[in-house]
Chain A
Amino acid sequence: MVKLVSLISGGIDSPVATYLMISRGVEVVALHMDNRPFTDDKNLDKTLQLVRHLRVLTGSPIKTYIVPHGPNHITFARNCNRHLHCLFCRRMMYRIAERIAEKEGADGILTGESVGQVASQTLQNLTVVNPGVKIPVIRPLIGLDKVEIIEIARRIGTYDISTLPGLCCTIVPKKPSTASRVVDVREEEGKIDIDSLVETSLEGMYVFSPEAL
C-alpha cells in the first residue's frame, strides 16, 4: 500500500487532496505545520476537526503530527529576502515532511497545491520548492480551480469546517515573489542553518494517534 505524508492546514484544499488520495487506497499520515504565533489557535483546532472528519468519512485511521513552524518564520524574516518568504516556508515544510516520511516509511508527500492559487503556487515557484526534497510530491489538485475544489469540499463535508474563522498567516510579505529562481532561494537559505532549523522543529513536534482524535 502506498503511504503519503499529507501536509494539512485548516484551509479548503489540503483536506480535499487528502480525501482524494485516501479514496484511491493511499494510507495517509497527516502533518500540520503550526504557524503560531503568526496565526491563532483556531487553525490547529480546525485541522484536528478536519482530520477527525476525514477519518470518520473514509474509515481510514490518520496519525497526525503537529510541528511548530513559528520559530522558522522568525529566522527567515530576520535573515532572508522578504519577497521569498513563502518559498522558504514551503521548502521547510517539505523538508520536515520528508523526515517524517522517513520515520513512517512513507513513499512521498501529499499537498493541496494547485497552479496559480496563491502567489507561492505559480508553476515557476513550484519548480523551486521541489528540489528541497528527494521524495515525490503528489499534488492531486494541481489542475483544478478553486470552484472545482470547493465543490468537492462541500460534497465531502469539509468546506464548513475549513471556512470557520481562523487567522491567516500574518507574516506573509506584501509582495511575495511569483517567479523565483532556485539559485536565489538557495543563496538566501545559505545565510541560515537550515539543518539545525529542521532538527529544532522536529524536537518540538507532537503526535496524535488515530484513536486520540
Chain B
Amino acid sequence: MYSLLKPCKTSAAYEAIPRERFSLDLDLCEEILKKTCTIVANAGILLIVNDLCEVSVHKDGRLILKTDSGELAGEQAGRIAGWLMGTTAIQKSRDFRSQRGLHRT
C-alpha cells in the first residue's frame, strides 16, 4: 500500500506515500483504527492516531509518522496499511493485495 517512505523536509517525521491514488473515509478509518490505536483527533480532513508513534492519516492516504526512526515509521505504516486494507474506508481503491511489494520499510 505504501511504496515510499521518505523523511519530511523538517526531518522530524517520515512521510509514507500511497502507491496508488485513493481517498480515505476518515470517519470509517477512525472506527477501524480505534480498535487498535488511540484516536488523538479527527479534524475531518485528517485523522491523528497513536500506536507505535503518532500518525497523521490524510484523506489522500498519505501518512505523516512522527518519529525520527525510519524503522519504526516503516513498521507503523505497515500496521496502518494492514488494518485498512480491504475495508470500505479505502475509496476508489484498486486491489492492493494484488500489488507486489507491500513495503514495510
A residues near B (Cβ < 8 Å) are: 37-38, 40, 42, 70, 73-74, 77-78, 82, 165-168, 170-171
What residues of A have a CB within 8 angstroms of the CB of B8 in the complex? 167-168
Task: Report yes or no: A37 in contact with B13, Cβ–Cβ below 8 A.
Answer: no
Distance to closest chain A CB from B52 (angstroms): 15
Task: Report yes or no: B41 in contact with A166, Cβ–Cβ below 8 A.
Answer: no
For chain B, give the interface size range: 10 to 19
Interface residue from A73, A77, A82, A167 paired with B13 (Cβ < 8 Å): A167
* Closest residue on chain A to residue B12 by CB atoms: A165
Known: A167-B10, A167-B66, A170-B64. 16 other contacts (CB 8 A): A37-B41, A37-B56, A38-B56, A40-B13, A40-B54, A42-B12, A77-B43, A78-B43, A78-B44, A165-B10, A165-B11, A166-B10, A167-B13, A167-B64, A168-B10, A171-B46
Task: Report yes or no: A40 in contact with B45, Cβ–Cβ below 8 A.
Answer: no
Interface residues of B in 90-104 (CB under 8 A from A): none
Residue with the greatest number of chain A CB neighbours at <10 A, chosen from B8, B11, B13, B42 = B13
What is the 8 Å Cβ interface bit string for chain B, positions 54-87, against chain A (1 contact, 0 not)?
1010000000101010000000000000000000
User: Is the CB of B40 closer than 8 A to any CB of chain A?
Assistant: yes
